Amino acid sequence: MTDVPCPPELPCPPDPEGLRPATLAVRGGQRRSAFQETSEALYLTQGFVYGTAAEAADTFAENIERYSYSRYSNPTTRTFEERLALLDGAEDALATSTGMAAVFTAVAALVRSGSRIVAARELFGSTLTIFDDVMAGWGVHTDYVTGVDLEQWQTALATPADVVFLETPSNPMQDVLDLRAIAELAHEAGAIVVVDNVFATPILQQPLSMGADLVVYSATKHIDGQGRTMGGAILGSKKLIGGRIRTMYRMTGPTLSPFNAWVLIKGLETLPLRIRAQSAAALDLAQWLEQQPGVASVRYPFLDSHPQRELAGRQMSAGGSVVTVTFESEGDGRETGPSGRSRDVERTFAFLDGLRVIDLSTNLGDAKTLVTHPATTTHMRVPAEQREAMGVMDTTVRLSVGLEDVEDLREDLARALEARRG
Sole window of 25-33, 216-224, 366-374, 407-415 interacting with ligand PLP (rule: CB under 6 A): 216-224
Minimal distance, residue 99 CB to ligand PLP, in Å:
2
Binding mask 105-134 vs ligand PLP (x if CB under 6 A, - otherwise)?
-------------------x----------
User: Can residue 312 be called a binding residue for ligand PLP (CB under 6 A)?
Assistant: no
Residues 225-244 that bind ligand PLP (CB under 6 A): 230, 232
As a whole number of Å, the end-to-end CA separation of the chain is: 58
In the chain, count of helices (H) and strands (E)? 16, 12
Collapsing DSSP states into helix, strand and coil, what is residue 242?
A: helix
Nearest to 18 by CA among 8, 28, 10, 32: 28
Rounded Cα distance between 95 and 355, Å, is 36
CA distance 203 to 316: 9
Q: Is 96 in the site for ligand PLP (CB under 6 A)?
A: no
Q: Cα separation of 110 and 106, whole Å?
A: 7
Q: Which of 83, 221, 222, 398 binds ligand PLP (CB under 6 A)?
A: 221
The amino acid at residue 87 is L
Nearest approach in angstroms of CB 213 to ligand PLP is: 18
Residues 6+ apart with CB under 8 A from 8: none
For ligand PLP, give the closer residue by CB, 210 or 295.
210
Q: Looking at beta carbons only, is 118 or 189 nearer to ligand PLP?
A: 118
Q: Which of 73, 98, 142, 257 binds ligand PLP (CB under 6 A)?
A: 98
Could you tell me which of 328, 333, 323 has the C-alpha nearest to residue 397? 323
Residue nearest to ligand PLP (CB): 99
Q: Is 99 in the site for ligand PLP (CB under 6 A)?
A: yes
- The enclosing H or E element of 273 equals helix 258-290
Q: Any contact of residue 224 with ligand PLP (CB under 6 A)?
A: no
Distance of CA 269 to the CA centre of its chain: 17
What are residue 342's phi and psi, to 5 degrees?
-65, 155
Q: Does 201 interact with ligand PLP (rule: CB under 6 A)?
A: no
Task: Using the rule CB under 6 A, give the single segment among 175-183, 217-225, 303-311, 343-351 that binds ligand PLP.
Answer: 217-225
* Helix ranges (DSSP H) in 291-383: 309-315, 343-353
Q: Which is nearer to ligand PLP, 29 or 169 (CB)?
A: 169
Contacts with ligand PLP in 170-199 (CB under 6 A)? 171, 196, 198
- The residue ranges that bind ligand PLP (CB under 6 A) are 98-100, 124, 167, 171, 196, 198, 218, 220-221, 230, 232
